[in-house]
Amino acid sequence: MIAVVHHPDYVAEAPRRSNYRWGKNGAIRDFLIEEGDNIGWHEPKQAPRAWLEAAHDPVYVAEVLDARVPPEKERRIGFPVTATVARRAQVVPAGTYLAAKLALGCGFAANTAGGSHHALAETGAGYCVFNDLAIAALQLAREGRRVLIVDVDVHQGDGTAALTAGHTDIATYSIHAEKNFPARKARSTVDVSLPDGADDAIYLDALGSTLPPLLEQFAPDLILYQGGVDPFGGDRLGRLSLTEDGLARRDLLVAELAVRRGVPMASTVGGGYGDDVLAIARRHVDVILRLGRAYREGWKRWNPADTGGVVAR
Residue 231 C-beta: closest distance to Zn ion, Å: 9
Site for Zn ion in 227-246 (CB under 5 A): 228, 230
State the Cα–Cα distance between residues 185 and 173, nearest whole angstrom: 13
Nearest distance in Å: CB 114, Zn ion? 13
Q: Which is nearer to Zn ion, 52 or 125 (CB)?
A: 125
User: From the list 153, 158, 169, 235, which residue makes contact with Zn ion (rule: CB under 5 A)?
Assistant: 153
Binding segment for Zn ion (CB under 5 A), chosen from 212-220, 223-231, 244-252, 300-308, is 223-231
Stretch that binds Zn ion, among 80-88, 212-220, 264-272, 296-304 (CB under 5 A): 264-272
118 is catalytic: yes
Write down the least CB distance from residue 20 to Zn ion, Å.
Answer: 12
Closer CB to Zn ion, residue 157 or residue 220? 157
Q: How far apart are CA 1 and CA 11, in angstroms?
A: 23
Residue with the shortest CB distance to Zn ion = 271
Judged by CB under 5 A, the residue of 220, 271, 292, 298 near Zn ion is 271
Catalytic residue among 6, 118, 155, 284: 118
Q: Pick from 24, 76, 155, 283 the residue near Zn ion by CB under 5 A.
A: 155
CB of 272: closest distance to Zn ion in angstroms?
8
Give me the residues that bind Zn ion (CB under 5 A), please.
Answer: 153, 155, 228, 230, 271
Residues designated catalytic = 118
